[in-house]
Structure 1
Amino acid sequence: MERICAIGATLVLCLTVILSTGTARAIEARGPFMQIGVSAPRPIGHRDFCRRNPDECRPIARRGRPTPVKLDPALVHAIAAINLSVNSSVKAESDEDLYGVEEYWTYPGKAGDCEDFALEKRRLLHEKAKIDYADLLLTVVRKTNGEGHAVLTLHTTDGDFILDNLNWRILPWHETPYAFLKRQSTADPGKWNRITNGRDVLVGAVKR
């Protein structure tokens, strides 16, 4: 079974650098928003998480189509504070080390895997910053070394931004080093869709 995230005890920072005109063209081609395609299979870990937490994965009841969150200075500050707090307070450990299984998506205690960081940020941003779950989307990517990884996408009127346990900065999705594979549906958190413009890997990851 494919692993969604493989992390050692040492924190890895993914540093985004524009290295060439080819990279700049790749960013321009991606644009500020992910283009969402056909439905995709749910990650096995998320399927099991939904079975244990059905209220987290029911369709979102609302009138009309979901709209991206509009950012303001106060909200930006709250988002950055929550992102930094989770990254600082949770120790990165693999599911194998914590639970003895390859994949186990859950809210972390003192330690967790990449998807656990994303789940915790999603929960806190909804509860404390009052951001709709439709704008907080679990997302599966591939790192430059080929490993799977999970991050949280913040869907805003200014574009899609990434909250990542491997980076304290919140970056536009097209400035991250990842190939983007699939993410949660904005209308139904129990369903996933492919990302059609997310295959370009922009830069390498640097270990520190």
Structure 2
Amino acid sequence: MSMVKFSFSVCLIVAAAWLPKFANASSGTSLAHLHAGESSQAPIGWTQFCRDNATDCRIPRSAESIKRLDERSWRELLAVNLQFNQAIAPVTDQEQYGVVENWTYATTGKGDCEDYVLEKRRDLIRRGWPMSALLATVVIDKEGGGHAVLTVVTDRGEFILDNQTDDVLPWSRSGLTFIRRQSAEDQNVWRFLGRVVGRPEVLTATAASKR
């Protein structure tokens, strides 16, 4: 996979210029931030992950907080996304474990979308990012399939870490349909997102360019 090159300052300037021109995707949702609605049942895979990794799921969340995004933290996001996209070989749970769904860390060096999410989330927490800003998110991908990504909530908007691309894009440019995700206040509470679609044609000037 290719390295990602992205101008942090240009991204923010262009995004700011475009934001007022588009209506909110749904009540409370803007091009910067998604709106989490009513409570949803946690995915079966998350419940299973918590049975297998009880300590990780007992980590308490404090009051909701977001990450301040500057050039240093932006580069960290790019690096973490790229690192695990390259390090983990994509394979289905059925192929690897003989079951349809098994959320786990990619200790074998292989995994599916949820395993990428869990590894990226764990690594960013180790680097000092607040857990409340790192939300496992269930989506429908561009091909219409079920998928999972990591949503990173910052003071500059919400960005998506996705094993299907090395680019780190605003949610509104991801091309994904957002279904539900963890609550910022409690990682074991999940909330509906209302099937909001991130349109790839929006904010095209903020897309990462590749070498």
Q: TM-score range by the shorter chain?
A: 0.7 to 0.9
Greater relative contact order (CA < 8 Å, ≥ 6 in sequence)? 1
Pair 1:58 & 2:58 matched: yes
Extract unaligned runs of 5+ from structure 1.
Answer: 1-23
Give the TM-score normalised by structure 2: 0.78
How many residues end up aligned between the 2 structures? 176
Return the alpha-carbon distance in structure 2 between the equivalents of residues 91 and 192 of structure 1. Answer: 28
Indicate the RMSD between aligned Cα atoms, in angstroms.
1.8
* 2:186 paired residue number: 188
Per-residue CA deviation, residues 99-149 of structure 1 (Å, 9 max, x unaligned), is 00000000003110000000000000110x210111111000012332100
- Structure 1 residue matching 2:138: 3-state secondary structure: strand
Q: CA deviation at 1:93?
A: 0.4
Q: State the identity as a percent.
A: 38
Contact kept, 8 Å, 1:144 with 1:203, in 2: the verdict is no
Q: Which residue of 1 aligns with 2:76?
A: 78
What pairs with 1:1-208 in structure 2 (closer than 5 Å)? 25=22, 29=25, 30-58=30-58, 60-62=60-62, 65-108=63-106, 109-127=108-126, 129-196=127-194, 198-200=195-197, 202-203=199-200
SS at structure 1 position matched to 2:151: strand
Asked whether the equivalents of residues 138 and 147 of structure 2 are also in contact (C-alpha less than 8 Å), the reply is yes
Greater shift, 36-45 or 67-76, is seen at: 67-76
TM-score, reference length from structure 1: 0.79
Which amino acid in the other structure matches residue 172 of structure 2?
A: H
Q: Where does structure 2 lack aligned partners over 5 or more consecutive residues?
A: 1-20, 202-211
User: Deviation string for 1:156-196 (max 9, x for gaps)?
Assistant: 01111000000001000010111100000111111100113
Runs of 4+ in 1 over 6 A off after TM superposition: none
**In the aligned structure 1, how far is the partner of 2:157 from the partner of 2:60?**
21
